[in-house]
Amino acid sequence: MANEMNADRTGAIDIHDLHVWFGVGAARNMAVKGVNLTVDAGQSYGLVGESGSGKSTVLRAIAGLVESWDGTIAVGGETLKQRGRSKAFYKTVQMVFQDPYASLHPRHTVDRVLGETLQLHGFSDIDARIARLLDSVGLGGGFRFRYPHQLSGGQRQRVAIARALAPEPRILLLDEPTSALDVSVQAEILNLLSDLRSEMGLTYLMVSHDLGVVGHMCEQIAVMQQGEIVEELGVAEMRRLQANHPYTQHLLDSSLGAIR
């Protein structure tokens, strides 16, 4: 199956036989079941599926936000442990969350959000770096001392992306980064992410329920259903509707206008 094709490859992210569960005993629920995937350096790789398919749980396991898992997760050739992540890991990997309204502290200015992140990662030229980060995400210096409630949803997500870029990571985990935004703003954020990847040589692992979004952002796509990867295909195959699994075909049929 497509989920077994990556066994001998090594990439920026390598996941082998990943199982993730919640609860214990009779209440234990397997959220991810035997997932294998490889994301090459510089690639944008999409995980798609309906709500509850386990796609966001894969990202959270990589980021260290879920500890009840087994299997192997390696980033840049370094195998990760179930519990905790090193400071070096967070200089390599950062995550952009779905909801920009919840991911920023309501009482912290943009300056404080970015400044504290830069200090945490040992940078000294804080002022200059904050200015460069704001410019890189299309926000000028006029946004620096604003609070989240003074920003639109798209502007908040730009700040969240700037915060993720602050440690100069090589890999971004993108968890539905536009789904909480107005339709008119979604394309702007996707285009920003595409430009940043090209300019900075970033690697993306992106979760979305929207095939149109991953078709715009990703070269390779894995389709998840009930915790398992049921099919892996390239974006060109997706646009040609060349799916082998019935669930993938169902998703394609439901998204015909968005992916062409």
Query: What distances in angstroms separate CA 46 from CA 58, 88, 136, 191, 249, one per listed residue?
Result: 12, 25, 24, 16, 16
Predicted pLDDT at 24: 87
Predicted pLDDT at 251: 87
Predicted pLDDT at 210: 86
What is the rounded distance in angstroms from the CA atom of residue 39 to the CA atom of residue 220? 9
Q: pLDDT at residue 122 above 50?
A: yes
CATH number at residue 128: 3.40.50.300
Give the domain extent around 116. Answer: 2-259
Q: pLDDT at residue 2 above 50?
A: no
- Is-contact 231 53, C-beta < 8 A? no
pLDDT above 90 covers what percent of the chain?
Answer: 71
Token pair for 100? 């920009």
Predicted pLDDT at 1: 40
Q: pLDDT at residue 237 above 90?
A: no
What is the rounded distance in angstroms from the CA atom of residue 251 to the CA atom of residue 244? 12
How far does CA 144 lie from the centroid of its chain?
Answer: 25
pLDDT digits (tens, 9 = 90+) for 41-97: 999 999 999 889 999 999 999 999 999 999 999 998 889 998 888 888 999 999 999
pLDDT digits (tens, 9 = 90+) for 17-30: 999 999 988 889 99
Q: pLDDT at residue 156 above 90?
A: yes
- Identify the H or E element spanning 30: strand 29-39
- Is-contact 111 141, C-beta < 8 A? no
**Total domain count, the chain:** 1
Predicted pLDDT at 7: 44
What is the rounded distance in angstroms from the CA atom of residue 241 to the CA atom of residue 7? 26
pLDDT digits (tens, 9 = 90+) for 72-85: 999 988 899 988 88
Q: What is the chain's mean pLDDT, rounded?
A: 90
User: pTM for the complete prediction?
Assistant: 0.91
Quick one: which of 143, 205, 139 has its CA closest to 169? 205
Place of tokens 């107005």: 182
Predicted pLDDT at 258: 54
Predicted pLDDT at 257: 55
pLDDT digits (tens, 9 = 90+) for 181-225: 888 899 999 999 999 999 999 999 999 988 888 988 999 999 999
Place of tokens 């509707």: 241
